[in-house]
Chains A and B, each alone.
Chain A
Amino acid sequence: MNTAFIFPAFIADYTEKEVDFLVRNGIDINVYIKNVSGVLELDLPLFSYNSIEYKQDELLSQIIAYLFACAISDALRSQSIKPDFVSGYSMGIYAALYAAKSVTIEDGANLIVNAFKIVEEVTKTGEYGMAAVIGLSVDDIVQLISANKLDAEIININNKHSIVIAGVKKHIKLFLILAQKEGAMSVSELTVNTPYHSKYLMNYSKKFENFVQSVDINKAEIPIISTYNQRLCISSEDIKLDLVHNLTEKIHWHKTMQKLIELDASCFYECGAGKDLTKIARFIDGDYKIKSIYKL
């Protein structure tokens, strides 16, 4: 029986139990914020559940999700709960690296900021977006995109009923209307302007790779499961390659969870604010339990 720590990318909704959980474990999230503020030379606001900046700003929302994930991982370790494997959903990869002791908290934050800056010219156009679709199959979605000549693509499969797409924003919006007509149970546009994990970022792959090579990334003490190809990444080289893939290639969360289950992971901890990964796990078969910190 193995334990896996899994790390979300963004925070859709706080359970508002996160800060209490950390305080009970002697951790102040604002200390984490202050530490990385200095290193990143960013004026990060102190956290409160009502912080608008951390909800509206795409970069800050990634940073706060990362810091909560790192803090929660630290809190679990302080309770002697240690993972056998880690994996990060989308931008959750950086917190997974931290938990695997492959990067420092500052270097992880630095990777997030630089990944964001490198693709910022795409983000700034406001022309791209992402969306989640629930209730249509992969074939349905591919067919809808193809039949309507939409500039969009599937970039992640969360589970058998939940799929994420990225593409040109106006096409994403049209897709959402068509998907509902087709019988999707629900559709939602994500509040991002960056088409993560898609072909639209391919041109930035080399630039990000060059940056990643300049970062001090250590051999992982705990294997990191790639969401790109589900391989176990341990060496610095493998991790660096996976970081680049994670930004510009499609990921597959469903397969990643299946891989962890194959590796006998039966106890998962969702290391992050909210409970998005617990919700997504609803249609991932296996004999396992996910513990969200809001229940601990």
Chain B
Amino acid sequence: MAQITDKTREEVKEVVLDFFAEECEMEIDEISEDSSIIGDLDGDSLMFLELIEIFKKRFNLNIELKIIGKFAVKNPVQTVGELIDMQLLIIEHENNILNL
């Protein structure tokens, strides 16, 4: 289990905002934690998967996509802030996320 610090949260937030800014061709300051992933950013599940892969490499995570999928179905995210929180949970708990 990884320890989540303020620094980790900042790092995850930066990666997520950079990702959406590039994908959506927007300025980072146009995206906030309240931005709706679907409504404001035209996000989709493939984007979500790509973010998971980015964090998987960055934090050397041992995760199975199917486990994340099961967790995401029970805990759907709608905003960028919620997505950041979910990524932090994935980093912290990896394949144990379903036990939360």
Contacts and interface: CB of A to CB of B under 8 A. Distances in A.
Interface stretch (B10-18, B40-48, B79-87): B40-48
A85 B81 CA distance: 42
Contact of B65 (A135, A279, A282): A135
Nearest to B23: A282
Given A183-B66, A279-B44, A161 B73 contact: no
Contacts of A282: 46-47, 49-50
Interface in A119-135: 134-135
Of B25, B47, B69, most A-chain CB atoms within 10 Å: B69
SS of B interface (majority): helix
A151 to B, nearest CB: 24
A135 B65 CA distance: 7
A67 B73 CA distance: 38
B46 A279 contact: yes
A275 to B, nearest CB: 9
Interface string A131-148: 000111000100000000
Interface residues of A, number: 18
B45 A186 contact: yes
A162 B66 contact: no
A236 interface: no
B70 interface: yes
A134 B44 CA distance: 10
A182 interface: yes
Given A140-B66, A182-B66, 19 more contacts: A134-B45, A134-B49, A135-B45, A135-B49, A136-B69, A161-B49, A182-B69, A183-B64, A183-B66, A183-B68, A184-B66, A185-B48, A185-B69, A186-B45, A279-B44, A280-B46, A282-B46, A283-B50, A295-B25
Contacts of A180: 69, 73
Contacts of A185: 45, 48-49, 65, 68-69, 72
A136 B68 CA distance: 11
A186 B69 CA distance: 8
A283 B66 contact: no
Interface of A: 134-136, 140, 161-162, 180-186, 279-280, 282-283, 295
Given A180-B73, A185-B72, A295-B25, A134 B46 contact: yes
Interface in B28-74: 44-50, 64-70, 72-73
A113 to B, nearest CB: 32
A185 B45 CA distance: 7
B29 to A, nearest CB: 21
Closest 6 A/B residue pairs (Cβ): A183-B66, A183-B69, A186-B45, A183-B70, A185-B69, A185-B45
Given A279-B44, A295-B25, A183 B67 contact: yes
A280 B44 CA distance: 11
Nearest to A160: B49
Contacts of A184: 66, 69
Contacts of B44: 186, 279
A185 B43 CA distance: 13
Nearest to A184: B69
Given A183-B67, A295-B25, A283 B73 contact: no
Contacts of A136: 66, 69
Of B47, B64, B67, B72, most A-chain CB atoms within 10 Å: B72
B24 to A, nearest CB: 11
Contacts of B70: 181, 183
A183 B70 CA distance: 4
